[in-house]
Amino acid sequence: MVTTALEWLPGGGVTSPAGWRAGAVDAGIKGYGDEPRRDLAILASDTPCTGAGVFTRNAITGAAVSLTRERLANRVAQALVVNSGNANTVTGAQGEHDARRMTALAAEHIGIEPEAMLLASTGVIGRPMPMELVERGIAAITLSPDGGHDFSRAIMTTDSAEKQHAVRFTAAGHRYTVGGVAKGSGMIHPNMATCFCFLTTDAPVEPQWLRSTLRAVADVSINMIDVDMDTSTSDTMLLLANGAGGGEPVAAAHPAAGALHAALEAVAVALARDLARDGEGARTLIEVVVQGAASREDARRAARTVSSSPLVKTMITGRDPNWGRVLMAVGRSGAAVDERTTSVWIGDHCTLDRGTPADVDLTQVSAAMSGDEVGIRVDLGRGDETATAWGCDLTADYVRINAEYTT
């Protein structure tokens, strides 16, 4: 699909595409720790956008998820207000009221329609949003084309590093940029594993193609990572396209469709890898490629089961080339598996060759597992379908981070 060259922009992010600005403040919502840290931010386009979202499948959702879902259904979107420190979840009617008021305040502050302001909240659950702090904070936010960095800092919680990427490409005679930012897929101090991923572009995009493309992109990026299998009540992925780059709206038959899809996928996959690598306590990124599956669903299921298996994760922690654990995980994934056609590679080393343990020097394989990224490849020998999933090793630090917090 990709024939257009993608140019990665060093230090780029959500405000790299034309017509995007952002800003953030320390509103005091997090309310702990000594140093001031940003916890409230706005990301805005200068003009109205086409927008789409993918949300948590958890049956319990925060007020922000309901509100943002509703607004995207109305097909109006121009900006996003985000806070960390309070998830506004299990807060009842008061929570819904507060969510609407947050977006009204943010919209008024930057001068757009309230209905065009989206919302995402992460943090502690079951506690009312401190609206006085929110009101004061929003009033203090200044938007700037260089605000992507501040924005990415404001949505971080236990993340150890910022996660931002941007790519540029030329298609159909126009130069377009796609930017993205993400935050923490490990459990969020103090309550929830929340994953945010926000993508922006200056390409003009037809709404229906935007929605189906976002779903396809989510399925090969954010939906293929797993830090601890726990699904937050606030997981949110958004894509907003403002068209500032000019040209006709991109849809399926448009000459820029392939390049735009590839650019969105590249940024989303880069963010997904960042998220997996930065799982709580993680030292190693695990990339699992499953090939030779009878169906795409089988490939996805097998890849995700391997990348999220506690026994595979601890085998990576211990640099132990224990292919039996990989085979066990594939076997319990629900995919069609026959040990006689299954092969397993750890790094470049074949450890199981169509059901027969390979004659391999395990010391060498263990040495190949010492980097900060380990590849596992499984060929099921049953068909042509492939999928890639990412995870991280499970360390004593994960336990410490998640056990030591006291509500």
Residue among 248 and 339 whose Cβ is closer to a second copy? 339
- By CB under 8 A, tell whether 364 contacts a second copy: no
Among 98, 150, 159, 228, indicate the residue that binds a second copy (CB under 8 A).
Answer: 228
Closest to 372 (Cα-Cα) out of 393, 352, 388: 393
Among 8, 11, 36, 60, indicate the residue that binds a second copy (CB under 8 A).
Answer: 60
Among 329, 374, 389, 392, indicate the residue that binds a second copy (CB under 8 A).
Answer: 329
17: Cβ contacts below 8 Å, ≥ 6 apart: 166, 176, 177, 178, 179, 200, 201, 202, 203, 242, 244, 245
Among 114, 331, 375, 383, indicate the residue that binds a second copy (CB under 8 A).
Answer: 331
- By CB under 8 A, tell whether 231 contacts a second copy: yes
35: Cβ contacts below 8 Å, ≥ 6 apart: none
Measured CA to CA, the distance from residue 151 to residue 156 in angstroms comes to: 9
Task: Answer yes or no: are the C-beta atoms of 133 and 27 closer than 8 Å.
Answer: yes
Measured CA to CA, the distance from residue 66 to residue 96 in angstroms comes to: 9
- Beta strand ranges found along 148-307 (DSSP E): 164-171, 174-183, 187-188, 192-193, 196-201, 236-241, 285-293
- By CB under 8 A, tell whether 31 contacts a second copy: no
Interface pattern 77-106 for a second copy (x via CB under 8 A)? ------------xx-x--------------
Which one of 103, 122, 194, 236 is the catalytic residue? 194
Catalytic (active site) residue 4:
no
Residues 240-299 that bind a second copy (CB under 8 A): none
Q: Which ranges constitute the DSSP H helices of 90-200? A: 92-110, 131-139, 148-155
- By CB under 8 A, tell whether 125 contacts a second copy: yes
User: Bridge-partner residues for 54, per DSSP?
Assistant: 237
- By CB under 8 A, tell whether 232 contacts a second copy: yes
As measured in angstroms, the least distance from the Cβ of 309 to a second copy is 6
As measured in angstroms, the least distance from the Cβ of 352 to a second copy is 7
- By CB under 8 A, tell whether 73 contacts a second copy: no
- Strands 373-379, 356-357: pairing kind: unpaired
As measured in angstroms, the least distance from the Cβ of 306 to a second copy is 11
As measured in angstroms, the least distance from the Cβ of 227 to a second copy is 9
Measured CA to CA, the distance from residue 192 to residue 56 in angstroms comes to: 12
Task: Answer yes or no: are the C-beta atoms of 150 and 25 closer than 8 Å.
Answer: no
Residues 297-316 that bind a second copy (CB under 8 A): 309-311, 314-315
- By CB under 8 A, tell whether 396 contacts a second copy: yes
- By CB under 8 A, tell whether 386 contacts a second copy: no
Q: Quote the radius of gyration of the chain (alpha carbons, Å).
A: 22
Catalytic residues: 194
Binding-site ranges for a second copy (CB under 8 A)? 57-60, 89-90, 92, 124-127, 187, 190-193, 228-233, 309-311, 314-315, 317-325, 327-332, 335-340, 352, 355-357, 362, 366, 394-396, 398-400, 402-407
